[in-house]
Structure 1
Amino acid sequence: MKIALVTNDGETISQHFGRSRYYKIYTVADKKVANTEMRERGTGHFAQQPQPVHDEPHTDPMGRHGYGAAAGSRHGMMAAEISDCDILIAGGMGSGAYESFKAAGLEVILTDYDSIEEAVTDYIEGKIKNLYEERTD
Structure 2
Amino acid sequence: MVRIAIPTDDGKTVASHFGRAEYFVIVEIEDSKEVSRKLSENLHARGHHGGEHNHHGYGEHFGEPHNEHRHEHGHHHGHDEVFASTGDIDGVIAVKMGPHMFNDLKTRKIGVYLVPLNTTIDDAVKLFLEGKVKNIVK
Query: Fold-level match, TM-score > 0.5?
Result: yes
In structure 2, how many angstroms separate the alpha carbons of the residues matched to 1:3 and 1:123? 10
Is it true that 1:121 corresponds to 2:122 in the alignment? Answer: no
Ranges in structure 1 where 5+ consecutive residues have no aligned partner: 60-64, 133-137
Normalised to the residue count of structure 1, the TM-score between the two structures is 0.73
How far residue 58 of structure 1 moved from its aligned partner, in angstroms, is: 6.5
Structure 1 counterpart of 2:27, which letter?
Y
Q: CA RMSD in A?
A: 3.1
Cα distance change of structure 1 residues 58 and 124 upon mapping to structure 2, 3 Å threshold: same
For residues 80-114 of structure 1, the C-alpha deviation after alignment (integer angstroms, 9 at most, x for no partner) is 33231111111111111111112122111222151
Distance 1:126 1:38 in 2: 23
Contact 1:21 1:48 in 2 (8 A): no
Cα distance change on mapping 1:129 and 1:25 into 2, 3 Å? same
| Per-residue CA distance 1:51-93 (angstroms, 9 max, x = gap) | 338xxx978xxxxx689774433x2332233231111111111
Structure 2 letter corresponding to 1:128: V
Alignment correspondent of 1:40: 41
Contact persistence 2:127–2:133 (CA under 8 A): yes
Which residue in the other structure is 1:99 paired with? 103
Corresponding residue SS for 1:17:
coil
When residues 50 and 3 of structure 1 are mapped into structure 2, their CA distance, relative to the original with a 3 A threshold, is closer
Question: Which is helix-richer, 1 or 2?
Answer: 1
Q: For the structure 1 residues 20 and 48, does the alpha-carbon distance in structure 2 shift closer, same or farther, using more than 3 Å as the test?
A: same
Q: 1:39 to 1:111 in 2, by over 3 A?
A: same
Percent sequence identity over aligned pairs: 29
Aligned CA distance change for structure 1 residues 14 and 122 (closer, same or farther; 3 Å): same
Is the Cα–Cα contact under 8 Å of residues 79 and 101 in structure 1 kept in the other structure?
no
Q: What is the number of equivalent residue pairs in this alignment? A: 123
1:84 pairs with 2:83: no
Q: Greater strand share, 1 or 2?
A: 2
Q: Map of 1:37-76 to 2, 5 A cutoff?
A: 37-44=38-45, 48-49=47-48, 51-52=50-51, 70-73=75-78, 75-76=79-80
Deviation at 1:125, TM superposition (A): 1.4
Q: Structure 2: 5+ residue runs without aligned partners?
A: 57-67
